[in-house]
Amino acid sequence: MASTQKNQVRNRRTGRKVMAEDNTALTRGNEGRKFLDKRRLLNTYVVIILLVLVVLVGSAIRALSLIPANVVPDSRNVWNQVFNKWAWLWTLVVTTPNCILECFIRSSRRIQYLFLSIIRVYVLGTATWSFWTNFIMPKVQYATSEFTTNTTDGQPEAIDGTGFDISGHAFLLLLSFLIIQEEVAVLVLRHFYRVKHGFPFLELNRQPIEAPSQGNQSDASTATRNGIDLAEDEQQTSTIMSSGYFNLSYVILYTLVIIFAGFIQLLWVVMVFQTSIFFHTFLETISGSLIAFTMWFIIYKCLHPLVLNIISRIRKEDMNDLM
């Protein structure tokens, strides 16, 4: 009898302790999310301003003829053939591992997060890239070219052969840069915030519980969280966190993803700068850039919140942490 009472007291104390920890974590998490949302938006806008400056500087160099006309890089160089022409593939290569890692640490919402990542990158991003590069840009170039009728077969042929060639490279590289920025780079802020404020890298899906009532012997005999005995759950949690194996593995993998993403972003900036100097006029480069910025805004600031709101209403739950 005495042993049973001791177990009841221990479970009550454990329940209250976990409730307090969960409520504190929830409050700190909400505050952190608001802080990071502001920093996230600010950082992306700062990046856009810097990218515009890169385009303007490159176009100014071209307009002022600061580089001799005979100094034109070979478009068949390895960087252009391997990276530039496959820019969207490299975007998926960078964002996919990050999506997998994020799903791994979001044990309670991995399906929702995976679904939203697929919508953002694989559906909206791929559709945007394909629509503009395969349909709109060729149509604009064709419509602005000068044509004459061939006297032999009656088919029109271009006189100038170019027309207004919207920079597809500037569009694709800048769109890829911003998608990587949203999917990978800004998440560094979240994880640094978690470490700074004492959160573990791995979220262990700890849900708030109710302390057992004194009048209910079945509840008092054992306090549970999702059907797991509190004592056993606390022991498993302690074992996972004390080993540090999962945290260390995650940090290493995430660091590799960040390094590779940074390399791709830097390469994209260099290629956009080169494109603005050698291959397109100012209007062609800036038009491609503006399309990229506009599509980023539509995908991440309009369509993504709309999809999130629809899912939230269907599931009737708060999914703000997936933003």
Q: What distance in Å separates the CA atoms of residue 23 and residue 13, rounded to the nearest whole number?
A: 15
pLDDT of residue 290: 93
Q: What is the pLDDT along the chain (323 residues), one digit of tens a residue?
A: 555 655 555 555 555 554 444 444 444 444 545 555 555 556 778 888 898 999 898 888 887 877 766 656 666 767 777 777 788 888 888 888 877 776 665 555 666 767 777 788 888 888 998 899 888 888 888 877 776 555 555 555 555 556 777 888 889 999 999 998 888 765 666 666 665 555 554 443 344 334 444 444 444 433 343 333 434 444 444 444 444 445 666 677 777 888 888 899 999 998 888 888 888 788 888 999 999 999 999 988 888 788 777 777 766 554 444 45
Length of the chain: 323
pLDDT of residue 41: 58
DSSP letters spanning 74-128: -TTSHHHHHTGGGHHHHHHHHHHHHHHHHHHHBTTTHHHHHHHHIIIIIIIIHHH
Burial of 272 per CB tally in 10 Å (0-12, 13-18, 19+): buried
**Three-state DSSP class for residue 224:** strand
pLDDT of residue 177: 92
Bridge partners, 157 (sequence order): 148
pLDDT of residue 40: 58
What's the CA dihedral at 17, 197, 232, 20 to 10 degrees?
Answer: 20
Q: What's the CA angle centered on 214, arms 208 and 217, to 5 degrees? A: 95
pLDDT of residue 292: 92
Q: What distance in Å separates the CA atoms of residue 65 and residue 89, rounded to the nearest whole number?
A: 34
Q: What distance in Å separates the CA atoms of residue 32 and residue 196, rounded to the nearest whole number?
A: 11
Bridge partners, 158 (sequence order): 147
Token pair belonging to 14: 């454990």
Q: What distance in Å separates the CA atoms of residue 70 and residue 63, rounded to the nearest whole number?
A: 15
Read off the DSSP letter of residue 203. Answer: B
pLDDT of residue 213: 46
pLDDT of residue 198: 54
What confidence tens digit (pLDDT) does each residue in 220-257 have? 433 343 333 434 444 444 444 444 445 666 677 777 88
Q: What distance in Å separates the CA atoms of residue 10 and residue 2, rounded to the nearest whole number?
A: 12
What confidence tens digit (pLDDT) does each residue in 171-203 have? 999 999 999 888 876 566 666 666 555 555 444
Bridge partners, 147 (sequence order): 158
Give percent helix, percent strand, percent coil of the chain, each to the nearest 5.
75, 5, 20
Contact 285, 276 (CB under 8 A): yes
Burial of 61 per CB tally in 10 Å (0-12, 13-18, 19+): middle
Question: What are the residue boundaries of the structural domains of the chain, listed by start?
Answer: 2-68+77-146+157-204+222-322
Cβ count within 10 A of residue 77: 10
Q: What's the CA angle centered on 288, arms 287 and 290, to 5 degrees? A: 65
